[in-house]
Amino acid sequence: KALGAGWEGRRLPPLRRRCRMPHPYAWVKLKQNGDQERTVTPRAGHTLTPMAKGFMMFGGMDGRRNDQGNPAPNSDLFVLKLGAQRTYQWESIELDAASQVPPARTLHSAVSTSADEIFVFGGMHSAMPYQSLQDGWILDTSCMEWKRQHFKALPTGRQGSVARRMAGLIQDRHKDEADRRNSSGKTRLSKARASVSDSRGSLASLSFSSLAGAATRAVHDKSGFRTTLNGALIGA
């Protein structure tokens, strides 16, 4: 049977035909619709989160500078909508003047936590001087409103604790571990004190007469061993 033949003696198609994908990957450049003046500027370090209303873009750096002339991030908020015929459109989100707005940032994290909410955390607020952020914000896309999130502070005296959750520390586990460490420490201390007490009691029970008797027996046993050894050598 020829190499590459099938079970019924029929040849299989060439490898390149057998491995051909039904829909090969290919990059397709989209065309922009809408107002060209209100599009997103070229940028880096932003986030793009898929939501029901579109892809929400927040923050990043696009070459703008602060009052000192240093590169600075921004707090821009846009929504990207994909259309038919391989098109897309950017829409700027206008927030209420009285609403809260997160500080400008780049290299932050963003993730959707529900169908309408996006959680944003951290990022870099300034490169010169370097300033990073540790705040959290929720964007409600149903009304386009930002809400500042407040985290519970780490309790004092909890060094080395690593079990945490978003609502706070898991207190029970740390309490059990602390109680276990205290119990084992007390047990070791009690054993050490008992050992010291036994040693002191043994030393106190020894008298001068008992020590002298022990020394005499040791000398006598040593002399008898020498006598027996000498006799054995002479007899030989």
Are the C-beta atoms of 110 and 47 separated by less than 8 Å? yes
Specify the higher pLDDT residue, 72 or 190.
72
Question: In this predicted model, what pLDDT tens digit does every residue of 111-147 receive, in sequence order?
Answer: 999 999 999 999 999 988 899 999 999 999 999 999 9
Q: Which residue has the higher pLDDT, 183 or 37?
A: 37
What is the arithmetic mean of pLDDT over 138-164?
Answer: 74
Note whether 75 and 63 are within 8 A (CB): no
Q: Residue 70 contacts by C-beta under 8 Å, 6 or more apart in sequence?
A: 126, 127, 128
CA-wise closest residue to 31 among 108, 90, 78:
90
Show the CA angle centred on residue 49, arms to residues 44 and 51, nearest 5°. Answer: 150
- Residue predicted with more confidence, 215 or 133: 133
Q: Counting Cβ atoms within 10 Å, is residue 117 exposed (0-12), middle (13-18) or buried (19+)?
A: middle
1-27 average pLDDT score:
60
pLDDT mean across residues, the chain: 77
Q: What residue type is assigned to position 215 of the chain?
A: A
Which of the pair, 70 or 99, is modelled with greater confidence?
70
- What H or E segment, with its residue span, contains residue 15? helix 15-18
Mean per-residue pLDDT, 68-90: 94
Asked if residue 187 has pLDDT above 60, the reply is yes
**Tokens matching residue 32:** 């922009």
What residue type is assigned to position 183 of the chain? S
- 146 three-class SS: strand
Please report the pLDDT score of residue 226 as a whole number.
54
> Is residue 136 helix, strand or coil?
strand
Arithmetic mean of pLDDT, 23-49: 89
Position 41 pLDDT exceeds 90: yes
Question: What is the structure's pLDDT at 162?
Answer: 44
The predicted pLDDT at position 169 comes to 45
Q: What is the pLDDT of residue 192?
A: 65
pLDDT, position 51? 96
